[in-house]
């Protein structure tokens, strides 16, 4: 089982659709949405698997990591509000993560050496973007801790 952590700034229609989508997946135990934008109090009834955290102002990208630290599963799926990852893809990412839990497994990889490449790269990479990535709660929390060091 895994926890989906979604970050929102200004796309309430996407949030509503993706909360419903991810809550329907068998592998998903919980969906946590951190809203950094205008209030989502007008959003339709949340599925029982969903938790909405609303901020009174934009706390930035690291709010995603903070929200994930509240997960009740060891596997975390970080995603943005503007993409909907199919259930089969999420199941595959979880399978890769399950076999190598100290690594991050995602859809948007980047090569850093000798120079940062902005094109998506598949295979072993130095960076995996949080647009769609599965990691462990321990890796998430280490990243949250390290964010304060930069």
Pick the CATH number of 2-147 from 1.20.970.10, 3.40.190.10, 3.90.550.10, 1.10.10.10: 3.90.550.10
pLDDT attached to residue 150: 61
pLDDT attached to residue 25: 98
Helix (H, G, I), strand (E, B) or coil at 142: helix
Q: Give the distance, in angstroms, between the CA of residue 31 and the centroid of all CA atoms in the same chain.
A: 9
Query: Which of 45, 53, 55 shows the shortest CA–CA distance to 23?
Result: 45
> In angstroms, rounded to a whole number, what is the distance separating the alpha carbons of residues 150 and 105?
23
Residue pair 33/60 in contact by the 8 Å Cβ criterion: no
The Cβ of residue 148 has, within 10 Å, a number of other Cβ atoms equal to 7
- The angle at the Cα of 30, spanning 27 to 38, to the nearest 5 degrees, equals 130
pLDDT attached to residue 97: 97
Distances (CA, A) of 89 to 13, 22, 53, 84: 22, 12, 26, 10
pLDDT attached to residue 149: 67
Each residue's pLDDT, cut to its tens digit, for the chain (150 residues) gives: 999 999 988 787 788 899 999 999 999 999 999 998 878 876 767 889 999 999 988 888 889 999 999 999 999 999 998 999 999 999 999 999 999 999 999 988 788 888 888 888 877 877 878 789 999 999 999 988 987 766
- The angle at the Cα of 39, spanning 48 to 139, to the nearest 5 degrees, equals 60
Taken in order 110, 121, 131, 135, is the CA torsion positive or negative? negative
Give the pTM.
Answer: 0.90
pLDDT attached to residue 90: 98
């Amino acid at each position: 089982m895994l926890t989906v952590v979604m970050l929102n700034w200004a796309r309430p229609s996407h949030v509503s659709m993706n909360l419903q989508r991810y809550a329907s997946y068998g592998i998903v135990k919980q969906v946590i949405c951190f809203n950094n934008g205008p209030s989502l109090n007008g959003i339709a009834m949340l599925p029982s698997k969903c938790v909405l955290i609303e901020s009174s102002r934009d706390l930035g990208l690291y709010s995603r990591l903070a929200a994930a630290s509240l997960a009740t599963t060891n596997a975390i799926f970080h995603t943005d509000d503007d993409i909907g990852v199919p259930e089969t893809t999420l199941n595959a990412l979880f399978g890769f993560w399950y076999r190598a839990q100290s690594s991050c497994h995602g859809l948007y990889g980047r090569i850093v050496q000798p120079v940062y490449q902005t094109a998506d790269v598949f295979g072993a990479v130095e960076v995996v973007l949080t647009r769609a990535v599965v990691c462990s709660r321990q890796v998430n929390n280490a990243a949250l801790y390290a964010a304060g060091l930069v």
